[in-house]
Structure 1
């Protein structure tokens, strides 16, 4: 890492040097969490979603070292309106919702116009980009590998730390049992491929066990990695984070495990839920990340 990238890593970390980021860049997933909306989640407007994201920043994200937000709904409003405090670092997600499929493989789409320079213009301290990977089918010369290497280099040129998020997935025709058996190796293989492409920080799925976490740490070759929550419940995620941290992980990036039952369409209920449900969970997660509370 260069000096600016090191500053970026420090900004998204606790005083103990462990990454802790509230993930709030979801769009469709966040709508689905607002199940009490009149007419259902599909009736939620962009303005209502933006208000929910602002409340999530106000009542939860501002209590974390960093928050991950999207440039389609949340930004730049939460910065321009003074909702995001100066004590919380901003991670800007560069990936659009969904993916395209080519020859059976998934490919992430970028948000239109969001370059490393645009991340800086939005007030971002750090950037994040998602790649779907099947390291048993792809390598550093593949489309995904080339795209990853190019964006890492572009962010480095801008003095911007890029968090590389890797998600593996089940192929068409692959049974659930086959995928489950391959999953730990796929997570480790994705970490290895990303590190070979120059990744400096990784956001990864929990590989399923202490042995899997140790294998990911070895595959990453010194690149720090944070475990993502993937929609599991809070208690489950605490256990996963505790195991991951004990086996070489460098932190956690939590989204739905913190806030999925707190995003009422009502602003008053939302503030109450985020304060009484989500915020205590963030405190517990911080203690696990920093090693003060064993994972459950």
Structure 2
């Protein structure tokens, strides 16, 4: 297990429920959030930055302020929700350091930083915790790979700043790989990716649901005591609640939920957003919290 420093331990407590389990509303998406605002009169691709920022602010105001923490991006949402007093003082702020999309090199995917966003910048934006996404194929990338070095570098930078870093991992199908072969390899890829990240110094992980109770137990063993939370990956709420219950029962320490909470509760209209977020998304958050805390 990679030991937490005192400020990192404090950061972990800010993103956790009273029961000590992580629960974060994920809202750092940009294009993905636009895509669900289907009532935009000129099409989702023409939603302006200001309109998207307003939607993110309402998501904080009517949903995330009832959660332990909110994950936001530094390109659209921040520093506005802090400077405008939208974010509640009791809701921790997790700042995503990764830019949208990815680049490819010899068939492998690599995320990139939002320009200028460092551990120090996360602090300047009011962040309590940082998050960085890495695409991994541990069957192709070992401890000497570029992605392993990137993980080590970001972990070191955040640690030196006294900032807890959540390492998010996404595995993916290779171009030459069949869907059947990828599905068969998926649980092992999740577990081996988690082990790679832990070996590179990661202290908190955000992982895909590996598919079963048995696979969750394998992931928990692979993390060696490092806490991990399951991400929603866009599945519907009912499915995600079941996944979280299984994961928590087999060693996961919480959930980080995005589209499963709010994908059908956003609108270009402020009035509609408020109604849907409070009547549809907020009850889901309450249900998820109950499951996370067991």
Q: Which consecutive aligned stretches of 4+ in structure 1 deviate over 2 angstroms post-superposition? A: none
Question: 190, 201, 207: which is aligned to 1:187?
Answer: 190
Structure 2 match to 1:173: 176
- The two structures have a TM-score, normalised by structure 2, of 0.99
Aligned pair count? 291
Residues 166-217 of structure 1: CA distance to partner in whole angstroms, max 9, x if unpaired? 0000000100000000000000011000000000000000000000100000
Question: 259, 271, 276: which is aligned to 1:273?
Answer: 276
Structure 1 match to 2:249: 246
Structure 1 residue 141 corresponds to structure 2 residue 138: no
**1:141 positional shift:** 1.1
Question: 73, 77, 91: which is aligned to 2:76?
Answer: 73
Question: 282, 286, 294: which is aligned to 1:283?
Answer: 286
CA distance in 2, matches of 1:155, 1:39: 41
Structure 1 match to 2:232: 229
Residues 229-264 of structure 1: CA distance to partner in whole angstroms, max 9, x if unpaired? 000000000000000000000000000000000111
Structure 1 match to 2:108: 105
- The two structures have a TM-score, normalised by structure 1, of 0.98
Structure 1 residue 152 corresponds to structure 2 residue 133: no
Residues 28-77 of structure 1: CA distance to partner in whole angstroms, max 9, x if unpaired? 00000101111221110000000000000000010000000000000000
CA distance in 1, matches of 2:42, 2:212: 41
Residues 69-104 of structure 1: CA distance to partner in whole angstroms, max 9, x if unpaired? 000000000000000010000000000000000000
Mapping for residues 39-54 of structure 1, pairs under 5 Å: 39-54=42-57
Secondary structure of the structure 2 residue equivalent to 1:165: strand
Secondary structure of the structure 2 residue equivalent to 1:101: strand
CA distance in 2, matches of 1:91, 1:193: 23
Structure 2 match to 1:3: 6
Structure 2 match to 1:163: 166
Structure 1 match to 2:261: 258
Structure 1 residue 29 corresponds to structure 2 residue 32: yes
Question: 211, 214, 218: which is aligned to 1:215?
Answer: 218
CA distance in 2, matches of 1:103, 1:137: 11
Secondary structure of the structure 1 residue equivalent to 2:252: coil
Secondary structure of the structure 2 residue equivalent to 1:97: coil
Structure 1 residue 131 corresponds to structure 2 residue 118: no
Mapping for residues 112-123 of structure 1, pairs under 5 Å: 112-123=115-126
CA distance in 1, matches of 2:182, 2:174: 8
Q: Which moved more, 1:280-289 or 1:137-146?
A: 137-146
CA distance in 2, matches of 1:62, 1:181: 39
Structure 2 match to 1:294: none
Secondary structure of the structure 1 residue equivalent to 2:24: strand
